Amino acid sequence: MAVFITFEGGEGSGKSTQARVLYKRVLQSGIPVILCHEPGGTSLGKELRRYLKQTRQTEISPLAELLLFAASRAQLVAEVIRPNLGSGTIVICDRYTGSTVAYQGYGRGLDLGVIQTVNAVVTQGLSPDLVILLDIPVEIGLARKRSAKEDRFESEELTFHQQVREGYLRMAAADPGRWLVVDATLPREKVEQVIWEKVKSLL
């Protein structure tokens, strides 16, 4: 049975690391699985990622940012996610629609109704079976990232990141049956264990 799992979280939460760990554990279990990420995962997505994440010199309006992420997601869903789910493969995705609501909605202040409509169109209504939110206080998460070169989002003001975290927690509270909130300040091995126990129940 195909299962669609997404990872969400603010900067420095460790979601990309945990997504890779989960991918390897599922693979070692002998279950067909793929790992993808947003923005990216396709040729178009990689080009859009460069503008969205790395190009700080170019001003991008919040609405343009929303639509660029949407274009990347539409391609990823059509080219990677749906075909693999259709063949019975487990799909693990590092970021998905929750990121858009948190970052462009709560962070940038775009209308949540507009974002929900855009998400519904580009995903054709495809929602994850499980959303894993790695929650971490903003100051701790950003401190983890300061040693690396900052991208457009990591360099935002503290208030922006606090609004993103608030958005994530609100989404999780509104849909507790589908969202798993994990304390990302726990030791990495403990985080891995909590996630694996939940995923095993789905598999």
Looking up residue 140, the CATH number of its domain turns out to be 3.40.50.300
Domain span at residue 121 reads 4-202
Task: Determine the Cα–Cα distance for residues 21 and 189; give it in Å rounded to an integer.
Answer: 10
Q: Could you read off the pLDDT of 107-139 as tens digits, one per residue?
A: 999 999 999 999 999 999 999 999 999 999 999
Residue 13 pLDDT exceeds 80: yes
Number of domains comprising the chain: 1
Specify the DSSP class assigned to residue 13: S
Q: Could you read off the pLDDT of 139-170 as tens digits, one per residue?
A: 999 988 765 566 778 778 899 999 999 999 99
Where are the strands (E) in the chain, listed by range? Answer: 4-9, 33-37, 90-94, 130-135, 179-183
User: For the chain, what is the mean pLDDT?
Assistant: 93
The β-bridge partners of 134 are: 9, 182
**pTM value surpassing 0.85:** yes
**What is the predicted pLDDT for the residue at 155?**
78
**What is the predicted pLDDT for the residue at 1?**
73
Please tell me whether residue 108 adopts helix, strand or coil conformation.
Answer: coil
Task: Determine the Cα–Cα distance for residues 107 and 200; give it in Å rounded to an integer.
Answer: 33
Cβ atoms within 10 Å of 50's Cβ, excluding its own? 12
Mean pLDDT of 77-103: 97
CA-closest candidate to residue 53, choices 11, 113, 17:
11
**What is the predicted pLDDT for the residue at 156?**
86
Q: Could you read off the pLDDT of 28-83 as tens digits, one per residue?
A: 999 999 999 999 889 888 888 887 776 555 688 999 999 999 999 999 999 999 99
User: In 94-128, which positions are buried (b, 16+ CB within 10 angstroms) versus exposed (e)?
Assistant: bbbbbbbbbbbbbbbebeeeebeebbeebbeebeb
Residue 2 pLDDT exceeds 60: yes
